[in-house]
Amino acid sequence: MIKPSIRRRIVSIVVGLTILMVATSVLSMVMVGRVGRLLDELKARYNPVNAHLTRIETLSLERALTLRRLVIAKLQHPPDEEAFTARKQLFEAKAAEVDQEAQSARQLINEMIADPRVASDKVGLARIESRIEGLMSDGRLLLTQANDALFAALDSRDFAEVATLLTRVDLLRDELSQRIDALREAMAGESDRAIETIKAQQSEAVVISAIATFLAALVGLIFANLVSGGIVRSVRKLLDGTKAIEAGHLDQSIDVTTRDEIGELSAAFNRMIVQLRVNRRVKETFGKYIDPRVVEGLIDQPNITAAEGQRRLMTVMFCDLKGFTTLSEGLVPQGLVRVMNRYFSLMSEPIRANGGIIDKYVGDGIMAYWGPPFVGEADHSRLACLASLEMIGRIDTLRREIPEILGVRDTPMENCDLKIGVATGEALVGSIGSEIMMSYTVMGDVVNLASRLEGANRLYGTRNLVSGKTVAVASQTLEVREIDSIVVEGQTRAEAIFEILGRRGEVTTERLASRDFYEMGLAAYRERRWEDAESAFKSSLALIPDDGPSLTLLTRVEGMETAHLSVDWDGSWRIAK
């Protein structure tokens, strides 16, 4: 067994050296590929952009010549209207060609900016693209206005005004030509820098290839020495151990330092020593009382199979983006993808930072959970609440960044908000799925409760609602208030729900005072003291005018003052969905 093992280890040295050489070749190919991409970029984009800019200037001069010809046609006695009309059409057609050339140049530049595979000067190209856009908007706008005024003067046969406007058109066209020349020079500069980049990367490829070859040879020699030394040491240990067993010494063992065949042989050697010790002890102790074959049968133990799932106390969170439907209806797919990626990135970071496990993304919603073996049972409720506070704190950042991502000022993002539900309870935890695909997830009533609490935020005008079991642990470090008692669909027992106001010591005095009034109103509401409840809720709103729970329960109290309630009313609210 040793000889094949040694043979494979020696062969592995050759394979390792081969892999190193292949890696060196692949690295060289990658470097050459980078240079090739730059050359392709220069040919397929840089040069065509220069050509487009050149055609813009040529077309501009052709328009100037066409403009003079149509002026001449208008100045004849009688005016040559047919020639004027034909040349005006040609004049406008060349304007469209100028726009097309500018658009093509901008498109190529944007492709270069968006292509991450090519190390172009993105900032410089962006400035050129912006200058082209300004050229076609501001510069062309003044020239177009002057041309329109010139055509109006020609139609009114005000030849003095025609001469004045023609001079102004020439000045504007000269200015436009100068700006085009400046753009061509800037683009030529970018082309020169691209060429210098190509030269630098060619030199870099040569240097890196040489260094990689040297390092591959050095690593290969070191690897060969280490492998051969390890083989020799392992064989010597096995040989020494065998001699010790032959001499009757069973108190030694061999350290297993590898996982290959020699390592397996060393582990088997150690197991053999243990079994020899057991057999000797059995023979020495029990051999005097029962048959040794019975003792050998008692030593064997059956394997124990672990369960597939476990019931554990877990904390589950559901998060939803309010206003997502309105936002998605006004965006193109590409913009919507950018918005959702940024939204999920911002909201996922607090979950991970606080030890949570993101179970899935569903539409604009997030499901996450906390609990063993990822976090301790004493911490997962608190960590989930802290994560929800951090997520809510990031909604202003999301509102501020979305218009920048989309490149527009007015978006429905101002109306978007977070709705978070957090619940703690017993759940089934394990790998659940089919033979094709499995998922490590949580299932149970606590998942349904967290989802219902997320939806209940819309009823109470809150951003987060958590269950009573969650608050029982997390309230030691957080300021909370009880919102109501609800009965969710599928359950008959009322569940007290709470809102997380913030960390202890960080909540404003107004918010705390508003909470006190709200709790007094809630107690009066449950006792059906409608006037006291109404007064307390109004006092809460005097401090926080937009407090959603106070507004909700005040509306409910005002309706109940005239309603006829059954005698078994307990103040709980039933949430169907």
Q: What is the mean pLDDT of residues 286-307?
A: 38
According to DSSP, the β-strands at 365-370 and 438-443 are: unpaired
> 494 falls in which pLDDT band (50, 70, 90)?
confident
Asked if residue 536 has pLDDT above 80, the reply is yes
- What backbone torsions phi and psi does residue 258 show, to the nearest 5 degrees? -135, 165
Reply yes or no: is the peptide bond before residue 373 cis, omega within 30 of 0.
yes
Asked if residue 262 has pLDDT above 70, the reply is no
Residue 375 near residue 397 (C-beta atoms within 8 A): no
Higher pLDDT, 539 or 209: 539
DSSP 8-state assignment for residue 413:
G
Higher pLDDT, 487 or 95: 487
> 85 falls in which pLDDT band (50, 70, 90)?
confident
Q: Using a pLDDT cut of 70, give the percent of the chain over it.
A: 70
Q: What is the pLDDT of residue 421?
A: 95
- What backbone torsions phi and psi does residue 362 show, to the nearest 5 degrees? -125, 105
Asked if residue 345 has pLDDT above 80, the reply is yes
Beta strands, E only, 225-377: 309-322, 357-362, 365-370
* Statement: the pTM of the whole predicted model exceeds 0.85: no
Asked if residue 535 has pLDDT above 90, the reply is yes
Q: What is the mean pLDDT of residues 139-162?
A: 72
Q: What is the pLDDT of residue 158?
A: 73
Average pLDDT, the chain: 76
Burial status of residue 546 (CB atoms within 10 A of its CB: 0-12, 13-18, 19 or more) = exposed
Q: What is the mean pLDDT of residues 303-329?
A: 72
For residue 257, which of 225, 285, 230 has the smallest C-alpha distance? Answer: 230
- Identify the residue whose tokens are 């061509």: 184
Q: What is the pLDDT of residue 362?
A: 86
Say which amino acid occupies 372. Answer: P
Half-sphere exposure of 160 (CA within 13 A, CB side): 0
> 106 falls in which pLDDT band (50, 70, 90)?
confident
> 500 falls in which pLDDT band (50, 70, 90)?
very high
Q: What is the mean pLDDT of residues 70-88?
A: 76
Q: What is the pLDDT of residue 291?
A: 35
Asked if residue 565 has pLDDT above 70, the reply is no
For residue 471, the tally of other CB atoms under 10 A from its CB is 23
Asked if residue 231 has pLDDT above 60, the reply is yes
> 287 falls in which pLDDT band (50, 70, 90)?
very low
Could you give the CA distance from residue 450 to residue 318 in angstroms, rounded to a whole number? 6
Sign of CA dihedral 519, 390, 418, 368: negative
Asked if residue 569 has pLDDT above 90, the reply is no
Asked if residue 424 has pLDDT above 80, the reply is yes
Could you give the CA distance from residue 490 to residue 488 in angstroms, rounded to a whole number? 6
Residues recorded for the chain: 577
- Residue 119, helix vs strand vs coil: coil
Higher pLDDT, 208 or 376: 376
Q: What is the mean pLDDT of residues 435-448?
A: 83
Asked if residue 140 has pLDDT above 50, the reply is yes
> 512 falls in which pLDDT band (50, 70, 90)?
very high
Residue 66 near residue 91 (C-beta atoms within 8 A): yes
Q: What is the pLDDT of residue 331?
A: 72
* pLDDT tens, position by position, 12-41: 667 766 777 777 777 667 666 666 666 666
Residue 172 near residue 142 (C-beta atoms within 8 A): yes
* pLDDT tens, position by position, 369-394: 998 878 888 888 999 999 999 999 98
Q: What is the pLDDT of residue 42?
A: 61
Asked if residue 517 has pLDDT above 90, the reply is yes
Could you give the CA distance from residue 92 to residue 85 in angstroms, rounded to a whole number? 11
- Residue 396, helix vs strand vs coil: helix
> 166 falls in which pLDDT band (50, 70, 90)?
confident
Asked if residue 121 has pLDDT above 90, the reply is no
Asked if residue 78 has pLDDT above 50, the reply is yes
